[in-house]
Structure 1
Amino acid sequence: MGTLEPLSNLSSLTRLEYCGHDLKCQGLRSLLTSGGQLNKLKVFGSPRFFVGWDPNPRRALEDVEGEEQQTQLVSSTLRELCTDDAAGLLAAPICSFLSSLSELGLRGNGSKEVERFSKEQEDALQLLSSLQELEFWSFHNLQQLPARLHNLTSLEILSISDCPAISSLPSDDLPKSLQELNVRYCSEELKQQCRGLVGTIPRIIQH
């Protein structure tokens, strides 16, 4: 199964997990709109899953003569997403379409290619304004987290796992809504900074 198109008519599907080789997201849109109920998606082993995808969330409504009457914004049903295609996901058309996400896990799978997120990717992340949980996992050469995380005003849990090159938290502060900061298998510099935040964030976990 190279794409999700064989599953695109499963309108009652609410959860999908896939771990394999180079799956593409074609067919995903119909699972998230037009009566689809998919709200939880985990895809690993497909680092180009979202690349080049334009979900085109605006559709023209036509009358019987085929004339365009108005444009309607189509919203996604997805609430939880884990992916190892951070680069493909963090694009404005995709993040705008997935703006209802409440939980996002980005997996690097030990990647040494990603050292920092581009400004375009950081801008796209800002469109996920409903995020309550955000995790970065196994980005071995990532030097810093995306800027402006403090603008994600619904964010309650931030997790950073196995990202040894990150030595500090964003210089422009964290969201005031943050309830839990979870740092595991990261640098001593980052852990020390987190210890300095004890008392300002209700729950800080370090391993």
Structure 2
Amino acid sequence: MLVIMDCPKFFLPAYSYNQGVPSLLKKLVIQECGINGKQLSDLLLQLPFLYFLTIGSCPKIASLAVGDLITGNFSSSTSYNHYWTIDGLLHIPLDLLNRLEYLCIQDFPDLVLLCNEGFLGFISLKTLHITGCPHFFSIWTEKESSDSWSLLPPSIQDLMVTHMDNRLLSFILSNLTSLSTLAISRSPGLTSIILHSCTSLETFIIEKCARLSALDSMGSLCSIKHMRIFECPSLAIPCGPSSPDGQNKDLYFLLHLEKLEIDNASFFSTAICKSLPSLQHVVFFMAKNVRSFTEEQDKVICHLTSLHILDFCYCSDLISLPKELHRLSSVKKLSIKACPGILSLPEMGLPASLQELYVSNCSTELKEQCRKIKNVRCVYVLYQKKRCVYV
């Protein structure tokens, strides 16, 4: 493995790289360096065993080509001459398409993809992360609509993307039947997500999508085990009317959910909490303008009958924990981290099942109260850099 980071003057001289770079190299990471597209293209030709590639923040790389370059199928109104410069073009060699399993491209403000078939040629690719590249798929937004389009190979299992809109995301997700992890973030133009083809999805992360309001076709997904929703203020989980047997088909995708990370107390509703029979871990973190839980939210939290771990993290406005916390009879671990507004534990106390309590970066009043607890097996109270453990 070779890692080259934060070397703005770094470049590769024009000579045969097989004399200076180990040909057995399997992993390559190049970030914040002065290497240009042509230099990196030549280097990749000399690495027959490479299967892991990460590139990021290299300003002399302006465009990326995979296999065949684009022809005349895109709008003629847009000029890409700037990206066709020999030195700025990074060309992924054809033989690498058959071997590459991990590809991460991050933090290129102007990088564009120049090819006809997207990443379909990467027949072995399992992990693809394209983040901080707002114009990467820009030429695809000019193509005419077609239901048969797809940008990624069905081999993708782990996908992380930013700067998506509805149309582009539909192209990307169209045939990813093997996808198990999906992370979408920093996409202010995204208003809905359709996941009907992602039948193997287990981890679903959505962050910083301010206009996202709908998750469509979720009812057919029953494999999701971990979900994180952060800074998506317009998003509401679909809750249609229940069937005669009391089940809500819109919420079937929650049936096997084991871990939920949220920053919005509105997710604690009766319909949602009753649809989480497998939920074991809840992280309530960085909630803005949430001072306390409503009376209804206090009551419905008790429906989380399989909950083992409950975390409250970095909630600067939160002044109280759920009043009905003591009724969560399956909780074994409770963490309260960086919640300075909480001055005391709930009046009715903590669950009798609790085995471990962790408190850090909170008020002195809360720490002192937790330190005196006797009926919990382990209490961890962090005072600045010193940890006091009471058993």
TM-score, normalized by length of structure 1?
A: 0.81
| 1:37 is the counterpart of 2:212 | no
Q: Cα RMSD over matched residues? A: 2.2
Letter in 2 for 1:89: F
Q: Helix, strand or coil for the counterpart of 1:26? A: strand
In 2: Cα distance, 1:132 partner to 1:104 partner:
9
1:176-187 equivalence runs, <5 A: 176-187=352-363
Kept in 2: contact 1:29–1:55 (CA 8 A) = no
Change (3 A) 1:98 1:192: same
1:14 corresponds in structure 2 to 202
Among 223, 227, 239, which residue is 1:54 paired with? Answer: 239
Q: Structure 2: 5+ residue runs without aligned partners?
A: 1-164, 166-189, 383-391
Report what 2:343 is aligned to: 167
- Residue 158 of structure 1 contacts residue 181 of structure 1 at CA under 8 Å; is this kept in 2? yes
Contact kept, 8 Å, 1:104 with 1:131, in 2: the verdict is yes
Shift in Å, 1:127: 1.3
1:17, 1:6 → 2: CA distance? 14
Are the counterparts in 2 of residues 4 and 28 from structure 1 also a CA contact under 8 Å? no
C-alpha separation in 1, matches of 2:337 and 2:214: 26
Question: Match of 1:101?
Answer: 279
The match for 1:67 is none
One-letter code aligned to 1:12: S
Q: 1:55 to 1:196 in 2, by over 3 A?
A: farther
Q: For residues 71-90 of structure 1, what are the structure 2 equivalents within 5 Å?
A: 71=245, 73=247, 76-86=255-265, 88-90=266-268
Partners of 2:302 and 2:240 in 1: how far apart? 18
CA distance in 2, matches of 1:183, 1:144: 14
Structure exhibiting the larger radius of gyration computed from Cα positions: 2
1:91 aligns with 2:266: no
Partners of 1:171 and 1:164 in 2: CA distance? 18
**What letter corresponds to residue 216 of structure 2 in structure 1?**
G
Task: State whether residues 206 and 228 of structure 2, in contact with CA within 8 Å, keep that contact through their aligned partners in structure 1.
Answer: yes
For the 8 Å contact 1:78–1:101, the answer to whether it is kept is yes
1:166 match: secondary structure:
coil
Aligned-pair CA distance for 1:188: 0.5
Asked whether 1:26 is paired with 2:201, we answer: no
* Distance (Å, rounded) in 1 between the aligned partners of 2:217 and 2:272: 12
Q: 1:203: Cα distance to partner? A: 1.6
C-alpha distance 120-126 of structure 1, shift in aligned 2 (>3 A): same
Aligned to 2:364: 188
